[in-house]
Amino acid sequence: MEALDGNSIAGSLYELFGREMTAAPGACAHCASRAQIAELRVYGRAPGTVVRCPRCWQVVMVLTDVRGTLRIDYDHFRLLDSGEQPPP
């Protein structure tokens, strides 16, 4: 399966965070590698969108649509710019 870069989820991230997020820096919780969201590897052929670290390939984010509401789990990608939290 061909991976896209993190720019492919720019619209979804804007919907969640209310601002452009592809340049936001973060660190993989698995290998501590630092990357901007645009550098992450995105796979969209799952029930949700799976985002992986470009270094260790571990899953760092999952975006899903639950009954018309976009949800994100990014427990394994620590945003380095404080205050970057999506609304509840």
Contacts of 55 (CB under 8 A, 6+ apart): 28, 31, 33, 35
* pLDDT in the model for residue 81: 72
| Residue 9 confidence (pLDDT) | 97
| Type of residue at 66 | V
pLDDT at 1: 73
Q: Specify the higher pLDDT residue, 82 or 35.
A: 35
What does the pLDDT look like over 31-61, one tens digit per residue? Answer: 999 999 999 999 997 789 999 999 999 999 9
Q: What is the mean pLDDT of the chain?
A: 91
CA-CA distances (angstroms) from residue 2 to 22, 42, 44, 73? 20, 9, 9, 22
Average pLDDT over residues 13-18: 94
The span from the CA of 32 to the CA of 15, in Å, is 27
**CA-angle at 10, arms to 12 and 45, nearest 5°:** 65
- Cα–Cα distance measured from residue 31 to residue 14, given in angstroms and rounded to the nearest whole number: 26
**Would you call 17 helix, strand, or coil by DSSP?**
helix
- pLDDT of amino acid 83: 54
The pLDDT assigned to 41 comes to 98
Does pLDDT of 6 surpass 60?
A: yes
